[in-house]
Structure 1
Amino acid sequence: MEVIYPFALVVHLFCAILFVGYLLVEAIFLTPLFRQIPSQWSQRIKEILGRIETRVMPPSFLVLILSGGMMVSQYLGGENGYFQNLGQILLGIKMILAFCILCLVVFSLSMFFIFKKPNPLRRYMHPIVLCLALVIILLAKLMFWVG
């Protein structure tokens, strides 16, 4: 695993930048923009972005989760033990938050692809996921400061 770790880390970081970057752009720029332009235009832009989002975001999120899972083995289990120090506890919290995001993504995709219905959480989904992702990023940095 030590050989694969640097590769998994780079892949993980690129996927995180793509995933969180999209959420930030949507929250900071697109949502206020949609309030300023005519509804016909905003609806058309949302349709186009929705198609791109459903093609790009699920694979990038899947790779983000898988690469993160690969990296966890460096810090949990085996000689390292489980939740024996603050860094491992923070990693556990990160894993729980990532699982929450995974549940929201699976719910959203199943509503779209399987049930063919609008997501009832659509309005709140991206702000919730963005907040969870930002907390995960803060925990990641904190993990390496505390050990």
Structure 2
Amino acid sequence: MRKNVLIMLSVVLMCQGCLSKGKKEIVEHTNSPVEQLFRDFANEKGTVRVGVGGMVMAFARSFADTRGVTGVKVYSFGECSQEVKDRLNEAIRSLKDDTYETLVSTSQDGERTKVLVKIKEDRIRELVVITGGSDPALVQIKGNIKPEDIESLIKEHQ
């Protein structure tokens, strides 16, 4: 899964052309289908949730370059029942959300991955990685992220 996430982030860098000026701004909606997906599966038995934001991110900025990231949520469903995984995989298959741009959507060996972004003023305001299959996961990164920061991050971790 980590390899897929790195590949998806690499694709984000190749798609920098989609960040052109004059582009219609995407309005953030807290009731978007993606937000609803996170809410619907957050409390399923076996879900591992990790969230960093607010005070913790402010504290982290004093010790490290957070590259514009203001919050991160990671939900892992590897320990959930097969019924939960099946429902999540179906929700991922049918997910459509006009408040995000789809950068990448792949399906390989029964694993479906989508990388979605919200872009405003040539900055990535939110990046969402959704992975289905036998070990599904949802990742949401919020902030004011420059595309070149993602590029340097990928180069550091190759």
TM-score (norm 1): 0.32
Instruction: Return the structure number with greater relative CO, CA threshold 8 A, min gap 6.
Output: 1
- Report the structure number with the largest CA radius of gyration: 1
Larger fraction in helix:
1
TM-score (norm 2): 0.30
Larger fraction in strand:
2
